[in-house]
Amino acid sequence: MSDCIFCKIVSGDIPGDIVYQDDDVLAFRDLSPQAPVHFLVIPKKHISTINDFQPEDASLVGKLFLAAKTIAKQEGMDESGYRCVMNCNDDGGQTVHHIHLHVMGKRQMTWPPG
Angstrom CA distances, 79 to 69, 72, 73, 76, 82, stand at 11, 9, 8, 8, 9
Strand partners, 18: 28
91-110 residues in contact with ligand AMP (CB under 6 A) are 93-96
Q: Which of 3, 12, 23, 32 binds ligand AMP (CB under 6 A)?
A: 32
Residue 21 sits in the site that holds ligand AMP (CB under 6 A): no
Question: Active-site residues: which are they?
Answer: 100
- Which residues lie near ligand AMP (CB under 6 A)? 5, 16, 28, 30-32, 40, 87, 93-96
